[in-house]
Amino acid sequence: MHNFRGLIFLAGALVVSGCGKEKTPPAPASPAQSTSPASRDGYLGTLVRGQQVAVKGIDTAALNQEVQLFNVQEGRLPKDLNELVTMHYLGKLPNAPAGMKLNYDAAQGKVTVVPQ
């Protein structure tokens, strides 16, 4: 067991020291590279996808809460999401993120956001 600990310590020391190799820092990106359309689209695309995920989570959580409130007060699950509006639990249904749609499972009383 003592030798095993020594080997682990030695392996850790080699990893930390980098086995004596010097590492050169990567060259900074040139202005032309950092403002290329591809890098901007990748960054913006990531932001848009992040926003869609956040909106998806917020909308489904709020809608699922309203479905449960409806169930408690009315003694049953709504037949569809529009019933939440007609029964004045919601002013209107929220819009799903671009390329997505709201999906309501009336048997389980669960709202999800799915691709169109």
First to last CA, the chain: 58
* Residue 47: per-residue pLDDT: 74
Please check whether residue 32 lies inside any domain of the structure: no
Please check whether residue 47 lies inside any domain of the structure: yes
Please check whether residue 69 lies inside any domain of the structure: yes
Looking at the structure of the chain, the number of domains it has is: 1
Shortest CA distance to 66 belongs to which of 77, 54, 56, 75? Answer: 77
Please check whether residue 50 lies inside any domain of the structure: yes
Please check whether residue 107 lies inside any domain of the structure: yes
Domain limits for position 103: 42-116
Please check whether residue 78 lies inside any domain of the structure: yes
Mean pLDDT of 16-37: 54
Per-residue pLDDT at 26 exceeds 70:
no
Shortest CA distance to 78 belongs to which of 69, 67, 65? Answer: 67
* Residue 21: per-residue pLDDT: 52
Which residue type does 12 have?
A: G
pTM of this structure: 0.54
Length of the chain: 116
Please check whether residue 82 lies inside any domain of the structure: yes
Please check whether residue 12 lies inside any domain of the structure: no
